[in-house]
Amino acid sequence: MRVAVVQRASGLDKAANRDEAAGAVRQAAGEGAELVVLPEATMAGFGSPSTDLAELAEPLDGPFTSALRQVAGETGATVVAGTFEPAPDGRVYNTVVVVSGAGVLARYRKVHLYDALGWCESERVCPGAPGGDNVPVVEVGRFVLGVLTCYDLRFPESARVAVAAGATVLAVPAAWVAGSHKLAHWQTLLRARAIENTAYVLAAAQPAPTYTGHSAVIDPMGVTLACLGPGDRAAPPEVAGADLDLDHLIRARSSLPVLAHRRFSVAPSPG
C-alpha cells in the first residue's frame, strides 16, 4: 500500500487550512497514496497560549471533517488529520480523525497532554479517556491502522495498546515543539515505537521554526523509508511517500516475535 505523510503549518484561518490540507491530500493521492496522514492541529493551529481554542473547535460533522470527506471521496484515499472538538468543560479535545469518502471512520482524543518543558496544554485541552472506545483501529486495505498523537509518542503504552487491538500501522500526527534535544527525541522515539511493536509508523509533523518537522515513514525493523527535513512554516506543504509491504511486516513479526513473547498487558491507570 502506498502511503504519504504531509508536513504543513496551520494558522488560525480555518478556511485556508482546509484548502491547503485538501490540496496536499490531492497531491499525495495523485502520487499514488491510499493513506494520507496530516499533522496534529491541521484544522487550526494552537496559536499563542492566550488563543481560545474553544472558539475554533468543531464537532465531527463540521466543516473540517466535511472537507476531508469530500477530498477523500474524490481521491479514494483514507485521510488522518488533527482537529479540535468541543469538550463539555469548556476546553477542547485534541482529536485525530480518520476519514474516507464514506465519512468519519474513527476518532482518537489525545490522552497525554503536553504539560512539560514550559508548556501547559491542559489549560486549553481536555484529555481523552485511556482505553475503551478511545483506542480506535481501522482497516485500510490489508493493514490495520492505530492512532496516537504527538506527546503520546513518549508513552510506549499508547502504541502498544493500539497494536494489542490489532494495529499493524501507527499514525502519529504531531506538532512536536522545537527545542534542545527535541529532534533527537522525536527521531529516536519514532524508531523505537516501530521496532518494539514491529509495526509501520507514519509520522506527520508541523514544520520549523516552532516545531521540529522531520516527518517520516518507518518500517517494522526501524528502517526509515521516507523522511523530510525541518521545513518552514512559510513554505507550501511537503509530502513524503513510501510503500508498505504486509509480507515484510509478517516476516518481521515472525523472525522477531516480541509481541508473542509479551509477559505484561497494558491497562489504564486508575488515577
Q: Which residues are catalytic?
A: 40, 110, 150
Single out the residue of 216, 182, 12, 188 nearest to residue 114, CA to CA.
182
Q: How far apart are CA 81 and CA 29, in angstroms?
A: 15
Count each helix (H run) and each strand (E run) in the chain, helices first. 6, 13
Contacts of residue 130, Cβ cutoff 8 Å, sequence gap at least 6: 111, 268, 269
Strands 35-37 and 78-86: parallel
- AA identity, residue 91: R
Handedness of CA 76, 80, 81, 87 (dihedral sign): positive
SS3 category, 76: coil
Estimate the crossing angle of helix 156-164 against helix 182-197, to 10 degrees. 30
User: For the range 258-267, what are the long-range contacts, defined as Cβ-Cβ under 8 Å and sequence gap of 24 or more?
Assistant: 258/196, 258/197, 258/198, 259/163, 259/197, 259/198, 265/164, 266/157, 266/160, 266/161, 266/164, 267/131
Q: How far apart are CA 154 and CA 165, in angstroms?
A: 19
